Amino acid sequence: MYADYHLTYNSTNQFFKYVLQNTKVPNFRFLIYNGDVDTMCNYLGDSWHMRDVANENKLKAGPRDPWFFSGNNQVGGFVQRYSGIGGQGVSVTVDVLTVKGAGHFVPNDRPGPSVQMITNFLFPQANGVNYTSTASTNPQPDLSPLKSGQSTANILLALIALVAISVRPSINIEFG
């Protein structure tokens, strides 16, 4: 089945190194998340991989702490933050997060915690990203726009750009 498939890279380390060394965006952030019951992309493998990426890029590891869903003591998952200075002298952060009880399709399996997680990542508070915060989030989001396919097209374009960069690092895309 894969006889004619030519693997260019067997790891995304080169992609992360390129981005972390070349970004000019102040306070540049990555969010890597997994469902903790995902049987396709298990959270331990991604966690170990990002630990190695962080070590290679001299990022400091923070503690692995729980984050809470919906403003109560319900554990939403765990988060570990790696932070440091990128190659262009800007602050970079990589958050590795799990969503409790979610499989491979995290937003489909756990829509409430997913909205809270993604909203907090996209709109950090003055003191940084706090995944436990419920400000500006709806724990029971309307999923009908996602089912229409319109939002999915925009996400797909962003993913295609990331794949293009990882497959052909010589593509000149300005991160800043």
pLDDT tens for 79-96 read 999 999 999 999 999 999
pLDDT for residue 125: 84
Domain map (residue ranges) of the chain: 13-142
Kindly report the CATH number that applies to the domain delimited by 13-142: 3.40.50.12670
pLDDT tens for the chain, residues 1 to 176: 567 777 777 788 888 999 999 988 888 999 999 999 999 888 999 999 999 999 999 999 999 999 999 867 899 999 999 999 999 999 999 999 999 999 999 999 998 899 889 888 888 888 889 999 887 666 566 666 556 554 455 555 555 555 554 444 444 544 44
- Decide: residue 57, CB within 10 A, 0-12 exposed, 13-18 middle, 19+ buried: buried
H/E segment holding residue 153: helix 150-167
Q: Could you give the 3-state DSSP secondary structure of residue 117?
A: helix
CA distances from 28 to 15, 88, 92, 99 (A): 15, 11, 5, 22
- Torsion of Cα atoms, 114 then 116 then 118 then 124, to 10°: -160
pTM, two decimal places: 0.74
CA distances from 44 to 41, 90, 96 (A): 9, 28, 10
pLDDT for residue 70: 83
- Torsion of Cα atoms, 82 then 85 then 87 then 90, to 10°: 120
